[in-house]
Structure 1
Amino acid sequence: MECRHCASPLEKPGDFCLVCRERNTEAVVLEVGRERATLTMLAGEADEGDDHDRGHGRGRGADDDPVLGQTTITTTPEDGENEPVELRNFAGLIGDEIRRKRPEEVYAGGERAVIRAVREDIHHSLYRVDDENPVETVIERRGNRALDVVETPPIEKIGGSHSTLIGGRTGMEAIRAVAGHPHVKKVIPGPIDAGGKGSQSGLRAKVTRADDGGNVRMLLRDGSSVQENRVVTTARDREMGERIREDLNDVLTEAEFQ
């Protein structure tokens, strides 16, 4: 494959071009199982001002196939004490392929344990896709521009008139886990309702359905106490807010708050 910008040869489809320093892959879609992962590389729309490239046949037309290519990575699952190392190595191989593309976004569907390991290995925005055909689902979303990233430290995103959190230090850990997400602008703690049904399961956290503006609510439950916290995101509508909601609940699951 050639670079879509300067026509230099690429080692693998969708690789970042080291000659002109331009990205060829806008999004990577992962379909992961415990033994095999398939990475599908998707191109972005041709730049509106890229007349020179389109004149030479290197710009991608709106009707062209957005799939640049696929790569498959396999592993042999281990049991017992060897499993964590094998899983980490598997995720590392997947991460290496993602890094050589330098995409704007990464989407993943399939085995949660593998997705968690990949998330820990890369620094790209990663969204879960639960549909049976994640590639088609992502292609349908391609008209949306990438969500803005907030680089403010998590502790500086927490504010509002209610400073008390249920669960004490554990509640703060859950809030920080959500505040640390790159598409969260601010977390505003709400009042505490002590009239809920008691539970012996310890502190639990859940992010609820997005509103029309793309913002969500994070519920903290500890015993009979419930606290609703407003989470302001960079989403522009309900659909994009739902993407962030799913991702935040995955983060809370990984942190064992669900």
Structure 2
Amino acid sequence: MNCRRCGTPLRKPGDYCLTCNTANADAVVVEFSADRARLTMLDEDEVVGETTVTTRPESDEQLTEIQLRNFAGRVADEIRRKRPDTVYAAGAREPLRETRAQVHHEFYRVPDAEAGAGEGGSGESTAGDDASPVVSWVLDRRGDRALQVVETPPREKIGGSHSTLIGDRKGRKAVGTVAQHPHVKKIVPGPIDAGGTGSRTGLRAKATRAGTNGNVRLLLRDGSSVQENRIVTTAMDRETGERVREDLNEALRDAELQDE
């Protein structure tokens, strides 16, 4: 593949061109399985190439912590080569979570597909194959109006007349996890209701169904205490609010604050 601007040959499909400082992919879709990750590079609504990163466990068990970190590091390196605006990811949770921690691009988890991530070999290819269900899902929604990204530091997003959060450290962790999302503008803690059904699993957090204005609620449960916190998002309607809600719940699961 050559650079779309200056024609310089690129080492891998979708690489950022260092000759003329031009991005040749504005998004990367990563499909993870336990031992491989398939990266598909997109330029607007066109697939411009694919790359597959593989790893091999030292035994039949799951990847060790070091192997997982190295595997995710190789995927993160491939993403950084492209300098995309956005990364979309689906599939195996552990390598996805570790990769998200290693990159600083706008990063979204998207619904998994029945097809396995990266099936069909390794190496690079140009966009000749049919797009996977995950890539098709992303392409179908890339035409939607982009949501505004909030640059406010997470700590400054929290405010309102109620300052107390249930669950102590875990409650603060749940709110902090939500506050880190780029499409969350503000979190307004609500009053605490001590008359809820008791929880035996410690603090649990869940983002509830979006309203017509795109905003959601963060429901915290700890023992018999319940707290409903208002989450103001940059979504403009219920449909886009649901996309933010799904992403928030995924982040809460990753933080081990929500049941699988």
- Do both proteins adopt the same fold according to a TM-score greater than 0.5, normalized to the shorter chain? yes
CA displacement 1:13-45 (0-9 Å, x = unmatched): 111121222222111111110011100001126
Q: Is 2:232 aligned against 1:251?
A: no
Uncovered stretches (5+) of structure 1, i.e. residues with no partner: 46-65
Could you say if the C-alpha distance between residues 17 and 154 of structure 1 is closer, same or farther in structure 2, counting changes exceeding 3 Å?
Answer: same
State the SS of the aligned residue for 1:8. coil
Cα RMSD for the two superposed structures: 1.8
Task: Name 1:192's counterpart in structure 2.
Answer: 192
Question: How far apart are residue 237 of structure 1 and its match?
Answer: 2.8
Distance in 1 separating the partners of 2:104 and 2:84 = 11
Whether 1:74 and 2:74 are equivalent positions in the alignment is no
- Whether the 8 Å contact between 1:34 and 1:77 is mirrored in structure 2 is no
Aligned length: 238
Q: How far, CA to CA, are the matches of 1:81 and 1:142 in structure 2? A: 34
Aligned to 2:231: 231
The aligned runs of 1:183-222 (5 Å cut-off) are 183-222=183-222
Q: Distance in 2 between matches of 1:29 and 1:74?
A: 16
Percent identity, please. 63
Contact 1:29/1:108 (<8 A) preserved? yes
Q: Is 1:107 equivalent to 2:88 in the alignment?
A: yes
Per-residue deviation, 1:178:
0.9
Give the match's secondary structure for 2:69.
helix
1:121 aligns with 2:65: no
Q: Tell me the SS of whatever aligns to 1:182.
A: coil
SS of the residue corresponding to residue 64 of structure 2 reads helix
Give TM-score scaled by structure 1 length.
0.86
User: Structure 1 residues 33, 245: closer, same or farther in 2, change over 3 A?
Assistant: same
In the TM superposition, residue 200 of structure 1 has moved relative to its aligned partner by: 2.2
Alpha carbons 2:57, 2:63 under 8 Å: kept: no
- Give the superposition deviation at 1:109: 1.2
C-alpha separation in 2, matches of 1:77 and 1:146:
39
Moved over 3 A (4+): 78-82
Q: CA deviation at 1:78?
A: 4.0
Aligned residue type for 1:97: E
Give how far 1:242 is off. Answer: 2.1
The TM-score normalised by the length of structure 2 is: 0.86
1:189 offset after TM fit, Å?
Answer: 0.7
* Equivalent AA in structure 2 for residue 122 of structure 1: V
Supply the distance in 2 between the matched residues of 1:257 and 1:105 (Cα, whole angstroms).
26
Gaps of 5+ in 2: 114-132
